[in-house]
Chain A
Amino acid sequence: DAGVTQSPTHLIKTRGQHVTLRCSPISGHKSVSWYQQVLGQGPQFIFQYYEKEERGRGNFPDRFSARQFPNYSSELNVNALLLGDSALYLCASSLLPYNEQFFGPGTRLTVL
């Protein structure tokens, strides 16, 4: 069975630009969560979506936004990129919001 997939794998952007990251959940999973992981730290929660509705939002600025589509895939958008946005962005899917979360391979974003 296919796991969680994310695209792109790597991305290099410059300050002030915009980026869109994509995630496809495990088949049958209806909930998607996004996390940011900087080097040496554990993942930090950004968003959770379930049935296309935002169920939770972490302590991130409004430059971060996300959405979930009818096929349960999801996009994370970040506007006005800062150097500090450089990180591994992880998508996790779960059957329901409170079930075990299974992570994708991540998108490595570098902001120059």
Chain B
Amino acid sequence: EDQVTQSPEALRLQEGESSSLNCSYTVSGLRGLFWYRQDPGKGPEFLFTLYSAGEEKEKERLKATLTKKESFLHITAPKPEDSATYLCAVQALGGSNYKLTFGKGTLLTVNP
């Protein structure tokens, strides 16, 4: 069974204080790893897809990296508007079921 574990559960940063969020995964074969941002009461907003170990993607202050066992979301010089829950999900190879398996998320709070 596919599993995704995110850490920490919650992270509080000062504006400008860089940090990383972790996503560890277990999947029989990885088709893709996805990062989403979710604001309270809203649907997840797509950020990145990573397909193979060593791949990196960047968007503004966010950079996602992938190894064979985990992914990191690096946040450089965060701003208060980066406060949200960040969700990681995996999609497995094979079969006709292309579901996403999500972790519980990391709640990021950036204080001004």
**Interface on A for B, CB 8 Å cutoff?**
4, 31, 33, 35, 40-45, 48, 55-58, 88, 90, 92, 97-98, 100-106, 108
| Contact partner, B89, options A42, A105, A108, Cβ 8 Å | A42
Q: Is A104 a contact of B43 with CB atoms below 8 Å? A: yes
User: Which size class do B's interface residues fall under?
Assistant: 20 to 34
Residues of B near A102 (CB, < 8 A) are: 46
Q: State whether A56 touches B103 (Cβ < 8 A).
A: no
Contact of B42 among A45, A98, A105 (CB under 8 A): A105
Is B72 an interface position by the 8 A CB rule? no
* Residues of A contacting B43 in the complex (Cβ-Cβ under 8 angstroms): 4, 90, 103-106
CB distance from A60 to the nearest CB of B (A): 12
On B, residues with C-beta under 8 Å from A are 4, 31-32, 34, 36, 41-46, 49, 87, 89, 91, 95-105
State in angstroms the CA–CA spacing of A48 and B42 once bound together.
Answer: 21
Given A100-B49, A104-B43, A106-B43, answer yes or no on A45-B91 (Cβ-Cβ < 8 Å).
no
Q: Which residue of B lies closest to A10 (CB)?
A: B41
- Interface contacts beyond A4-B43, A105-B42, A106-B43: sample of 6 additional A-B pairs, CB < 8 Å, sorted by A: A42-B87, A42-B104, A42-B105, A43-B89, A48-B99, A103-B36
Which residues in B have their C-beta under 8 angstroms from that of A31? 98
Closest to A97 in B: B98
What residues on B are CB-neighbors of A44 within 8 Å? Answer: 102
